[in-house]
């Protein structure tokens, strides 16, 4: 029985909107912004702090500063007051929240390494959404970015995600064999949603052939 759908994505592929429609069609909980908000609450920090550092490695200067703070007496005394939130602690809390969401079931989880954290769950269906570079740039332009800004975002955000996955899971992003379905969002949102739902149902029927044969 599929109880969890994870949706990994290229930046600018339109995956958040597709994920929301999938969740709405199923009547499931969507863990996207909700996931960020939950992580921020557990870390006692602003959600914007989490958004800046989730799914990416910390800049070198920040990592060096954090190492100093962890390794000095002054740092150990002052770190709680400074509420230092880095990629490592965000990753730890993210794993906790993702696994808690999966235990609750009936949910769609967007990115944040969820496909990798939940790889061993037989009730999870993993999707990767991508798009041609030009399509991603156009979509990001529609959100108010210039052509150069959109192109830079399409390249840099995915580069950060690849670095994050490499560091914490030791694989090259997206590590295709981990996904049950990879879909080009140029198919259109409605087509992508239908493909995900039908593929998840097909995956479920193969998991439990006796149930499908009895219908």
Q: What is the mean pLDDT of the chain?
A: 85
Largest Cα–Cα separation, the chain: 67
Q: Rounded mean pLDDT of 194-201?
A: 98
Which element (helix H / strand E) includes 128?
strand 124-130
Fold of 4-44+88-203: Rossmann fold (3.40.50)
Residue 9 pLDDT greater than 80, yes or no: yes
Residue with tokens 């140029």: 186
The DSSP symbol for 202 reads: H
Q: Rounded mean pLDDT of 88-94?
A: 86
Burial class (CB in 10 A: 0-12, 13-18, 19+), 114: buried
Give the domain ranges of the chain: 4-44+88-203
Chain-centroid distance of CA 61 in Å reads 25
**What pLDDT does 64 receive?**
43
**What pLDDT does 57 receive?**
58
| 70, two tokens | 């962890």
Would you place residue 75 in the very low, low, confident or very high pLDDT band (cuts 50, 70, 90)?
very low
Residue 67 pLDDT greater than 50, yes or no: no
Would you place residue 210 in the very low, low, confident or very high pLDDT band (cuts 50, 70, 90)?
low
| End-to-end CA separation in angstroms for the chain | 15
- Give percent of the chain with pLDDT exceeding 70: 81
Closest CA to 25 of 208, 202, 198: 198
Q: Which of 35-49, 102-116, 164-178, 199-213 has the lowest mean pLDDT?
A: 199-213
Q: Rounded mean pLDDT of 29-42?
A: 92
The DSSP symbol for 59 reads: P
Residue 60 pLDDT greater than 50, yes or no: no
Question: Cα dist. 31→5, 36, 69, 97, 114 in Å?
Answer: 10, 8, 33, 10, 10
The DSSP symbol for 2 reads: -
- Tell me the CB-side half-sphere exposure of residue 105, using CA atoms within 13 A: 6
Would you place residue 212 in the very low, low, confident or very high pLDDT band (cuts 50, 70, 90)?
very low
Residue 208 pLDDT greater than 80, yes or no: no
Pairing mode, strands 124-130 and 29-31: unpaired
Q: Which of 81-85, 181-185, 187-191 has the lowest mean pLDDT?
A: 81-85
Handedness of CA 112, 117, 123, 125 (dihedral sign): positive
**What pLDDT does 56 receive?**
64
């Amino acid at each position: 029985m599929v109880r969890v759908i994870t949706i990994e994505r290229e930046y600018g592929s339109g995956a958040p909107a597709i994920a929301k429609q999938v969740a709405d069609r199923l009547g499931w909980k969507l863990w996207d912004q909700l996931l960020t908000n939950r992580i921020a609450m557990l870390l006692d920090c602003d959600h914007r702090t989490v958004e800046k550092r989730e799914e990416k490695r910390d800049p070198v200067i920040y990592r060096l500063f954090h190492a100093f703070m962890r390794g000095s007496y002054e740092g150990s005394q002052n770190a709680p007051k400074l509420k230092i939130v880095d990629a490592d602690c965000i990753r730890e809390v993210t794993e906790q929240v993702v696994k808690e969401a999966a235990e609750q079931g009936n949910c769609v989880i967007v990115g944040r390494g969820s496909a990798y954290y939940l790889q061993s769950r037989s009730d999870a269906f993993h999707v990767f959404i991508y798009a041609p570079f030009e399509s991603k740039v156009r979509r990001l332009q529609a959100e108010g970015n210039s052509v150069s800004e959109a192109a830079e975002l399409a390249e840099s955000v995915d580069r950060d995600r690849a670095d994050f996955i490499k560091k914490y899971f030791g694989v090259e992003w997206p590590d295709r064999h981990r996904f049950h379905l990879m879909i080009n969002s140029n198919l259109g949102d409605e087509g992508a949603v239908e493909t995900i739902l039908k593929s998840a149902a097909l995956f479920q029927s193969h998991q439990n052939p006796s149930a499908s044969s009895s219908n």
